[in-house]
Structure 1
């Protein structure tokens, strides 16, 4: 019996066993959206790290270094986690090292999984198709905001549940909750997302264009996965 589960925040991970599951890490605003965009634009690899200090330790390796905290680029780094920093012109053929407030934290907390996949609205259908082919339990991990639940990640989890629930024999109450929320919002994601605290946070930083971009659905066909500690395009 294959299971489809949703975890609304990494703070709840101790309650779950990730062994035997594919974890889809979700950080819509903006880490997993930017990672997906960067991999689709030809980045050779993206190395997710937990801390600013660890990111800085790669300074002499010839990689691009990205660090974001509280929605802003950390001083002295090449970029943060705006998708517009991950264009083909900037990242094609290059290895990036990245640390973010929420997304890379969730990735690092998922290391006991059989596999880790990066999900976003940008590659929603591609991710869902990939998950079906793997024929394993699926665990949708919402990065949230500093271990608190957020709307945007829950909505994406609901979108995945909506597409995949007929392919699984069992799912959890969090999956039902996430799908119900998505069904309320799917008619106008941009309008619904105005309710989210993180969108307000980003607007105060003057980067509304990032929000709009991250809510594009199915503009990418690549699926980023983690292999040997690096995020690469699935083969």
Structure 2
């Protein structure tokens, strides 16, 4: 089998791809997938992604932590949003978090029909790529974007994955080439390049620059969250 790696630049395009037999890597660098990776790496038992803020309330009586973010801010009345600093071991170890975000959890729900759904971030880049190399499956890198539009940071991460994996795949698409070229331009100073992005500007305006810096760290986590039923749990390698 000739393995194929592709990049879907926005969830609005996912219907153009056949994913039923593929591994889909969901990417929302600022900040959902970074926080999910960090939380699972720090011992969270599970993270349950839900589409709407109101869906969190279905879990209100189960003793779970409820996390809701919209437009970069914590929704009033919830335990926290999707800042990685909310997913430290002292807060999430041994616990289940129910999470909804503007872009990342939507992308996750669109990917559910894939053979397997895993979570990618710069935090677990190396671990993720090493695992993918061992899988005999096509791979789609699904960028969550911003409200169905293209964004820089997710595409840069997709390019980082392509750069590490391209020699292991016989086929790749033009979006993969473009993403890798962007990453090559940006990799020596990711923060400066991501500073051009619209979402980075939103986060600076919200005074959460430290979140941006945190999410651009390379390989500080080993965990690969995988979707099992409705929950994200640590992949057993």
Task: Using structure 2 for the length normalisation, give the TM-score.
Answer: 0.98
Shift of 1:57: 1.3
* In the alignment, structure 1 residue 7 sits paired with structure 2 residue 8: yes
Residue of structure 2 in register with 1:148 after alignment: 149
Shift of 1:139: 0.4
Residue of structure 2 in register with 1:127 after alignment: 128
Deviations 1:56-82 (A, max 9, x none): 111001100000000000010000000
C-alpha distance in structure 2 between counterparts of 1:181 and 1:204, whole Å? 25
Q: How does 1:1-235 map to 2 (within 5 A)?
A: 1-235=2-236
Unaligned 5+ runs, structure 1: none
Shift of 1:130: 1.1
Deviations 1:81-138 (A, max 9, x none): 0000000000000000000000000000001100000000000000101111122101
**Superposition misfits of 4+ residues, deviation over 3 angstroms:** none
3-state SS in 2 of match to 1:61 = coil
3-state SS in 1 of match to 2:139 = strand
Deviations 1:126-185 (A, max 9, x none): 010111112210100000000000000000000000000000010000000000000000
C-alpha distance in structure 2 between counterparts of 1:234 and 1:57, whole Å? 26
C-alpha distance in structure 2 between counterparts of 1:221 and 1:135, whole Å? 21
Shift of 1:193: 0.9
Cα RMSD, aligned residues only: 0.5
C-alpha distance in structure 2 between counterparts of 1:10 and 1:118, whole Å? 15
Task: Using structure 1 for the length normalisation, give the TM-score.
Answer: 0.99
Shift of 1:31: 0.1
3-state SS in 2 of match to 1:60 = coil
